[in-house]
């Protein structure tokens, strides 16, 4: 058989064939600029062409036009297309970035978001012009409530962190309405950084509770910090170690016992879709990351959407205005309503609406059966990788995981000097995105791997082989050096982050100063 | 199984065998039986894509989008500017759409460089030295700017012009419940902030003074007055600017602003029923260590080649945790990339031209509407793209009547902008409105207000 250099097994999620690897730096738009060039074309309007000085008083006029860049449309397309070739993405290959749920993003969602009947609607249009949008939002809210086991939801928060802060303000308002002022919010030491940052902005003080040897909340330690000054607890379940908090009911009882509320951070909801619901676990407030679990997608860092669902007793406090169904069930119409004790508005308009339309599309295509399959296969993939890679790396919590597994490069580092960061960088040139490294903070040399349900067994095998090859190579001095100097084949080599902070160049214009 | 999960039955069997399990349910053995959802979610089963698309088309058909059948004269923070095919095409490249936050810069130079260019463009437009990589929307940028100013000055009183978008002010008040900031409203007189109103003489000096340019009513504020208030009190000056009007107007930085915030939707995003939009945020270099959200900086790689990376990371929530300057993580990166593309398309001449043509259209339209019997100006202050009117009828009713006739006539003003009455209307005109459309709008308006 002819060796045609096609790697076996052929894995759809491996990007080593991608022509991503330009060696030259792409100039900035400003360096491509040539005075006198232009790309713009605007509509012929025949509006009377009054001179500028009759339109804008002199005190308000710019002395000279703001200098942007002057490029042709062809230059513009070339530039941004080349930039796109210097960017890894889910469409290119597997992206097992723990905690980020980088699953495949169905293209139908793009088509839906581009429908003029959705995309070209003004957010302040009168309600008789937006009946479709209101119905869509009501339908999505009902679906998210069913998925989370909650009673009502706000769709306004634009991302997970905005959802967290919303939840904390709901907690504050709920306690205050009962004449109860509380100051503390409990979070586990394995929590995402957004949790403590949101707690501070919500006007509360963070109380950290340690994890036990199993990687779960230490229930006794939790009981020790619970008192009548605790407004609530923020939990991720499965937690950031990818482990299910089995004691969740006792935790819920303990927190409710002192009059506190339970907040569910939806970062890891993908693991439990259709299997178990936060509401049934005892949570009072839940945020969802639609850009993760519902693949809306992530856009290089956003836009996301972070709806917050709540139990019945918190519904009167939700942000407003809320989309509502009105009229007879046989002939409904839709409008806006303000909850009676609303904490107020959270977004300039109604949230990241087109992201919400994508999420509803995702829910409908999957349905109850498909969503449960998402969770099952995500957990299957993560456990397969965990078992396959245990031994290659340390397994600090050696038990079945949910949608992601956290391994450690501690032994590798001790034996060879190759760190988790080096493994991450070396993996990039194997055609895979890196896992999350050094998080959660409680695991030394952490490698947090979340394959998601959309990667095939063949891709997982190729990914595992790549990890194993990296570790095997590290046993020789040359191999270890190759890892610590990796990556070699990417558009740029290892980037000097310290210099970026020391000599801050935040704009092209700061280069010369 | 859906078309998005590649597992064959044989794959699943082999993987379960490898794990020593007999069924997929066994994967969840750790979940207490009593908690597990018996019978599954009460949702319909999955439906093939074409059927879902038909359902979504049906919902879309129940809306009235802006276009030939509903010509847009509404603004209030959401504007119908040109979004060319080239912006749509480049911004929908899947490398930009389906990537995560650029945590591994070696394979994220595309997004990082595009955001670096975005930061440069926003800095130039605002007249300040540093821009972040975006926030959720204009309101979120205002909230973060106030947090920065309160942190920098150690004072939690904030004076907010009534000329700030009322939705943004509501959001500011919502979040103040957590931070404890005290938000004070400074009234308008003839459409401009009345800093001399003297209502705050008995209050402590503010940490921030917030003013719009143009303001919510479209009026051009004398920012020298706001600057003087800041000089007198030691507050930071926060200006909510409009990136399109900035093509013609003196930059907020030039007026002395410390922080500039704005809604970037007009830079290449469709109306989108209000989102995803783009929060713009720029500040003086002095405040960069309090900057909320991500910042991209230029550096070099191991071979000395120019490269980009997120920087001053020690400000951010994943490192600083409860002491972070902000809790923001996911922002609106794809919208920032879109805005960079759109500003590249407009370039130096186009940026000024869009603002100029919008101003011409607004002037022509305003004169036409003011000639209608019973329609009066709400203010006589100078305006650019947007202006306010007093109608001889309830303005919500006027908007509904006009919609029946094919025009989105504007946004009904809260009574606090119209002397306590329900008859104020805010009208915006972009460079996309033709003379024929404006003439037809005015003629229809004349009938509708009768």
Q: What is the DSSP string of A181-207?
A: ---EEEEETT--THHHHHHHHTT-EEE
B71-84+346-448 CATH: 3.90.1150.10
Same-domain check for residues A405 and A320: no
Same-domain check for residues A316 and A430: no
Same-domain check for residues A314 and A403: no
Closest approach of B233 to chain A, Cα-based (Å):
24
A473: in domain: yes
- Domain holding A466, by residue range, is 376-500
A370: in domain: no
In chain B, domain spans? 71-84+346-448, 87-341
A485: in domain: yes
Domain range B87-341, its CATH number among 1.20.200.10, 3.40.640.10, 3.30.70.1290, 3.40.718.10: 3.40.640.10
Same-domain check for residues A479 and A408: yes
Q: Quick check: B168 contacting A, CB < 8 Å?
A: yes
**Distance (Å, rounded) from C-alpha A183 to C-alpha B181?**
17
Chain A hits for B350, CB-CB cut-off 8 Å, are: 38-40, 42
- B111 alpha-carbon distance from chain centroid: 20
Same-domain check for residues A229 and A140: yes
Same-domain check for residues A160 and A229: yes
| H or E stretch at A147 | helix A131-148
Same-domain check for residues A132 and A252: yes
Which DSSP symbol is given to B94? H
Closest approach of A213 to chain B, Cα-based (Å):
16
pLDDT digits (tens, 9 = 90+) for A206-240: 999 999 999 999 999 999 999 999 999 999 999 99
Q: What is the pLDDT of residue A513?
A: 60
Q: What is the pLDDT of residue B204?
A: 86
Mutate to test the interface with B, among A239, A344, A442, A495 (most CBs of B within 10 A): A495
Q: What is the pLDDT of residue A18?
A: 63
User: Structure tokens of B232?
Assistant: 């007198």
Closest approach of A4 to chain B, Cα-based (Å):
25
Q: How many distinct structural domains can be found in chain A?
A: 3
pLDDT digits (tens, 9 = 90+) for A248-300: 999 999 999 999 999 999 999 999 999 999 999 999 999 999 999 999 999 99
Euclidean distance between the first and final Cα of chain A, in Å? 61
Same-domain check for residues A129 and A238: yes
pLDDT digits (tens, 9 = 90+) for A129-140: 999 999 999 999
Same-domain check for residues A392 and A316: no
Average pLDDT taken over every residue of chain A: 94
Mutate to test the interface with B, among A37, A61, A82, A124 (most CBs of B within 10 A): A124
Same-domain check for residues A241 and A266: yes
pLDDT digits (tens, 9 = 90+) for A325-353: 999 989 999 999 999 999 999 999 999 99
Closest approach of A40 to chain B, Cα-based (Å):
5
Same-domain check for residues A326 and A419: no
Q: What is the pLDDT of residue B115?
A: 98
- Looking at A328, A346, A365, the residue that finishes a domain is A365
| Confidence check: pLDDT of A312 > 50 | yes
Q: Which residues of chain B have pLDDT under 50?
A: none
Which of A274, A262, A195 lies closest to A232 in space, CA to CA?
A262
Q: Is there a contact between B174 and A344 if contact means CB atoms under 8 Å apart? A: yes
Chain B hits for A52, CB-CB cut-off 8 Å, are: 248, 356
A52: in domain: no
Q: Is there a contact between B177 and A26 if contact means CB atoms under 8 Å apart? A: no
Candidate from A173-177, A230-234, A385-389, A440-444 with smallest mean pLDDT: A440-444
**Distance (Å, rounded) from C-alpha B290 to C-alpha B151?**
8
Which DSSP symbol is given to B252? H
Which residue of chain A has the CA closest to B54?
A: A112
Which of A129, A128, A107, A106 lies closest to A117 in space, CA to CA?
A129
Q: Which of B37, B52, B139 sits opposite A108 (nearest CB)?
A: B52
| Confidence check: pLDDT of A20 > 50 | yes
A21: in domain: no
- Looking at A340, A365, A390, the residue that finishes a domain is A365
What phi and psi, each to the nearest 5 degrees, are found at residue B301?
-95, -175
Same-domain check for residues A212 and A321: yes
Q: Which of A80, A122, A276 sits opposite B78 (nearest CB)?
A: A122
Q: What is the pLDDT of residue A4?
A: 61
Percent of residues, chain B, with pLDDT higher than 90: 92
Closest approach of A218 to chain B, Cα-based (Å):
17
Q: What is the pLDDT of residue A1?
A: 46
Q: Residue A384: which CATH number?
A: 3.90.1150.10
B442-445, Cβ contacts within 8 angstroms, sequence gap of 24 or more: B442/B365, B442/B368, B442/B369, B442/B371, B442/B372, B444/B402, B444/B405, B444/B406, B444/B407, B445/B369, B445/B372, B445/B375, B445/B402, B445/B407, B445/B409
Q: Which of B24, B36, B105 sits opposite A376 (nearest CB)?
A: B24
Q: Quick check: B68 contacting A, CB < 8 Å?
A: no
Q: What is the pLDDT of residue A22?
A: 63
Q: Which residue bears the tokens 């920012």?
A: B223
Strand partners, A276: B36
Which residue of chain B has the CA closest to A121?
A: B65
Closest approach of B311 to chain A, Cα-based (Å):
6
Chain B hits for A456, CB-CB cut-off 8 Å, are: 6-7, 11
């Amino acid at each position: 058989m002819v060796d045609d250099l096609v790697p076996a097994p052929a894995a759809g999620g491996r990007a080593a064939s991608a022509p991503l690897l330009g060696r030259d730096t792409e100039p900035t738009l400003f360096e491509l600029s040539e005075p006198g060039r232009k790309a713009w074309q605007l509509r012929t309007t025949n509006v009377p062409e009054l001179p500028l000085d009759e339109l804008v008083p002199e005190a308000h006029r710019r002395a000279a036009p703001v200098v942007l860049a002057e490029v042709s449309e062809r230059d513009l397309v070339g530039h941004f297309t080349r930039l796109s070739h210097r960017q890894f993405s889910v469409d290119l290959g597997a992206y097992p970035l723990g905690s980020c749920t980088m699953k495949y993003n169905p293209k139908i969602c793009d088509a839906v978001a581009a429908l003029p009947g959705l995309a070209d609607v003004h957010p302040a249009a009168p309600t008789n012009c937006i009946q479709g949008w209101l119905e869509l939002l009501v339908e999505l809210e009902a679906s998210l409530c069913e998925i989370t086991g909650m009673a009502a939801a706000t769709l306004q928060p634009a991302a997970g962190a905005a959802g967290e802060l919303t939840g904390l303000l709901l907690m504050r308002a709920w306690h205050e309405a009962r004449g109860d002022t509380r100051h503390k919010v409990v979070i586990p030491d394995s929590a995402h950084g957004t949790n403590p940052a949101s707690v501070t902005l919500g006007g509360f003080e963070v109380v950290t509770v340690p994890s036990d040897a199993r990687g779960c909340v230490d229930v006794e330690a939790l009981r020790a910090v619970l008192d009548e000054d605790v407004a609530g607890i923020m939990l991720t379940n499965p937690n950031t170690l990818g482990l299910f908090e089995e004691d969740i009911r006792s935790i819920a009882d303990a927190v409710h016992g002192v009059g506190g509320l339970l907040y569910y951070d939806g970062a890891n909801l993908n693991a439990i879709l259709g299997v178990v619901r936060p509401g049934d676990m005892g949570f009072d407030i839940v945020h969802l990351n639609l850009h993760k679990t519902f693949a809306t997608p992530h856009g290089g860092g956003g836009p996301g959407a972070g709806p917050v669902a709540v139990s019945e007793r918190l519904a009167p406090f939700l942000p407003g205005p809320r989309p509502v169904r009105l009229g007879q069930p046989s002939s409904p119409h839709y409008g806006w309503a303000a909850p009676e004790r609303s904490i107020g508005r959270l977004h300039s308009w109604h949230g990241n609406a087109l992201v919400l339309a994508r999420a509803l599309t995702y829910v409908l295509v999957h349905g109850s059966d498909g969503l449960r399959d998402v969770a099952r296969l995500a957990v299957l993939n993560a456990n397969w990788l965990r078992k396959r890679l245990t031994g290659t790396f340390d397994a600090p919590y050696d038990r079945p995981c949910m949608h992601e597994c956290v391994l450690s490069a501690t032994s590798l580092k001790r034996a060879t000097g190759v760190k988790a960061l080096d493994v991450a960088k070396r993996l990039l040139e194997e055609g895979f995105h890196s896992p999350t490294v050094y998080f959660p903070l409680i695991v030394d040399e952490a490698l947090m791997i979340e394959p998601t349900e959309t990667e095939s067994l063949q891709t997982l095998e190729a990914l595992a082989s790549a990890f194993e090859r990296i570790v095997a190579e590290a046993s020789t001095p040359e191999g270890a050096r190759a890892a610590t100097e990796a990556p070699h084949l990417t558009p740029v080599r290892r980037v000097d982050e310290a210099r970026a902070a020391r000599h801050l160049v935040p704009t092209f214009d700061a280069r010369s100063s | 199984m859906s078309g998005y999960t590649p597992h064959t039955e044989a794959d699943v069997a082999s993987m379960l065998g490898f794990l020593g399990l007999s069924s997929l349910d066994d994967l969840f053995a750790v979940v207490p039986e009593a908690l597990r959802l018996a019978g599954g979610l009460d949702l319909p089963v999955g439906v093939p894509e074409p059927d879902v698309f038909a359902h979504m088309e049906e919902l879309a058909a129940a809306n009235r989008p802006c276009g030939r059948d509903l010509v847009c004269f509404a603004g209030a923070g959401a504007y119908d500017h040109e979004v060319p095919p080239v912006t749509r095409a480049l911004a929908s490249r899947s490398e930009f759409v389906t990537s995560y936050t650029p945590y591994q810069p070696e394979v994220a130079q595309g997004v990082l460089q595009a955001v670096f260019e975005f930061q440069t463009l926003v800095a130039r437009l605002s007249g300040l030295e540093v821009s972040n990589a975006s926030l959720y929307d204009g309101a979120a940028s205002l909230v973060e700017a106030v947090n920065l100013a309160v942190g920098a000055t150690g004072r939690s009183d904030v004076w907010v012009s009534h000329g700030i978008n009322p939705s943004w002010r509501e959001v500011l008040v919502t979040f103040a419940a957590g931070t404890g900031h005290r938000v004070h409203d400074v009234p308008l007189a003839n459409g401009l902030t009345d800093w001399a109103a003297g209502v705050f003489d008995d209050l402590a000096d503010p940490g921030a003074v917030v003013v719009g340019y143009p303001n919510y009513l479209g009026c051009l504020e004398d920012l020298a007055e706001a600057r003087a208030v800041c000089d007198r009190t030691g507050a930071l000056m926060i200006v909510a600017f409009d990136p399109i009007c900035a093509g013609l107007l003196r930059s907020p930085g030039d007026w002395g602003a410390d922080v500039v915030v704005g809604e970037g939707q007009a830079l290449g995003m469709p109306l989108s029923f209000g989102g995803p939009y783009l929060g713009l945020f720029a500040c003086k270099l002095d405040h960069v260590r309090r900057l909320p959200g991500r910042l991209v900086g230029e550096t070099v790689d191991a071979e000395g080649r120019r490269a980009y990376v997120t920087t001053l990371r020690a400000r951010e929530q994943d490192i600083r945790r409860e002491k972070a300057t902000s809790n923001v993580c996911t922002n609106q990166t794809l919208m920032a990339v879109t805005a960079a593309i759109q500003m590249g398309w407009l370039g130096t001449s186009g940026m000024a031209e869009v603002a100029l043509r919008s101003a011409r259209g607004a002037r022509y339209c305003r004169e036409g509407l003011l000639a209608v019997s019973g329609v009066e100006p709400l203010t006589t202050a100078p305006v650019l793209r947007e202006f306010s009117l007093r109608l001889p009828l309830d303005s919500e009713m006027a908007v509904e009547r006009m919609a029946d006739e094919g025009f989105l006539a504007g946004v009904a003003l809260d009574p606090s902008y119209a002397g306590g009455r329900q008859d104020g209307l805010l009208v915006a005109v972009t460079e996309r409105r033709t003379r024929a459309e404006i003439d037809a709008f005015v003629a229809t308006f004349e009938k509708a207000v009768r």
